[in-house]
């Protein structure tokens, strides 16, 4: 673990000031090394107050420590301060023959993408990550990964913060009727075997973002607008722990319980035609069953349509 990461862990556990001398003695390093590590943390966006004769005190901000996540989750973790997108990094991991399962994390995405190749605003301060799995099963046997990670996310947020979020079918996380996160799940299939060889589950969360572009400022919000009570590391670890360890049936129940659209009127577009009806059910495969105004029932599959409104 880097010196800056070790010092960060000391500071985050200490409510009062911690002197440079105490830090140096605990880590068996020089005061100069402590000062350089503090500067490195500040450059990473961590706010550290320094006071003469008192030392250093962490006031806001956090960092992600991949080694700690690897120990907590028992999987490989790659972390970068910035990248094109974590989905792209996961795909490169296939070429590089990275260990699997493998989690790719970044502080910032230059070209974050959502469904239908839409841009996903990914500034510093958010959580951007993609998990690569190798299921090697026929497509019809693939687990409903989008539903599972959405459920693990809202459950983790609730457990750690007491904040209740909701899921808009099929892949958006909402808080106070505004979007705070989105999920993008991609499958790679072998032409020779017909099996899904790789599954990449991507998620982007607005953790403590406070400024949004005008185009989305009325539609998007963050989990925190100021003074987070947890770190991004806490939330990342809890999300994937729940994803790996919670029975599938329990996560599917959470998904249905936290749905924004069930029993509500929805309108949607399919094949350039608009429909309206009541969302009646979400199947275990993630299909949305809608009873139309004319009495007909439609089964909506993720990837084929996008809900245009719900009330």
The answer on pLDDT for 304 being more than 80 is no
Q: In the prediction, which pLDDT does 70 show?
A: 97
Q: How far apart are CA 253 and CA 35, in angstroms?
A: 50
- How many angstroms separate the CA atoms of 14 and 137, rounded? 48
Kindly state the average pLDDT of the residues 264-284. Answer: 91
More confident: 272 or 88: 88
pLDDT (tens digit per residue) in 157-196: 999 999 999 999 999 999 999 999 999 999 999 999 999 9
Q: Please compute, for residue 117, the number of CA atoms within 13 A of its CA located in the half-sphere on the CB side.
A: 0
- The reply, when asked if residue 178 is annotated as ligand binding, is no
| Measured distance CA(257)–CA(79) in Å, rounded | 33
Is 179 annotated to bind a ligand? Reply is yes
Q: Domains for the chain: give ranges and CATH numbers.
A: 3-60 (1.10.10.10), 66-258 (3.30.930.10), 264-307 (2.30.30.100)
Are the beta carbons of 70 and 236 closer than 8 angstroms?
A: no
**pLDDT one-digit tens code per residue, 235-255:** 999 999 999 999 999 999 999
For 277-298, how does the pLDDT look when each residue is reduced to its tens digit (9 = 90+)? 999 999 999 999 999 999 999 9
Instruction: Give the pLDDT score at 1.
Output: 82
* Contact predicate 105/135, CB 8 Å: no
């Amino acid at each position: 673990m880097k010196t800056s990461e070790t010092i960060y862990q000391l500071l985050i556990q200490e409510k009062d000031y911690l002197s440079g001398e105490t830090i140096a003695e605990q880590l068996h390093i020089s005061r100069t090394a402590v000062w350089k590590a503090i500067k490195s943390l500040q450059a990473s966006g961590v706010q550290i107050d320094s006071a003469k004769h008192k030392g250093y005190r962490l006031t806001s901000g956090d960092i992600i420590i991949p080694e700690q996540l690897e120990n907590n989750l028992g999987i490989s973790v790659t972390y970068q301060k910035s990248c094109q997108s974590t989905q792209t990094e996961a795909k490169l991991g296939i070429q590089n023959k990275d260990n699997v399962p493998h989690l790719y994390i970044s502080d910032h995405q230059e070209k974050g993408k959502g469904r239908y190749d839409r841009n996903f605003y990914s500034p510093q301060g958010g959580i951007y990550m993609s998990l690569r799995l190798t299921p090697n099963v026929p497509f019809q046997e693939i687990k409903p990964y989008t539903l599972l990670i959405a459920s693990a996310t809202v459950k983790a947020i609730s457990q750690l913060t007491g904040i209740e979020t909701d899921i808009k079918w099929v892949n958006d996380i909402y808080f106070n009727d505004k979007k705070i996160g989105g999920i993008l799940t991609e499958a790679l299939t072998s032409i020779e075997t017909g099996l899904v060889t790789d599954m990449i589950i991507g998620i982007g969360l607005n953790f403590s973002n406070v400024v949004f572009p005008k185009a989305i400022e009325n539609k998007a919000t963050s989990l925190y607008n100021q003074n987070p009570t947890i770190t991004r590391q806490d939330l990342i670890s809890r999300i994937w722990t729940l994803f790996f360890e919670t029975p599938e049936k329990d996560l599917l129940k959470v998904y249905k319980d936290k749905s924004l659209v069930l029993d509500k009127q929805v309108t949607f577009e399919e094949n350039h035609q608009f429909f309206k009806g009541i969302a009646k059910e979400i199947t275990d495969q993630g299909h949305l069953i809608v009873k139309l105004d004319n009495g007909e029932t439609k089964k909506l599959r993720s990837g084929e349509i996008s809900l245009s409104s719900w009330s």
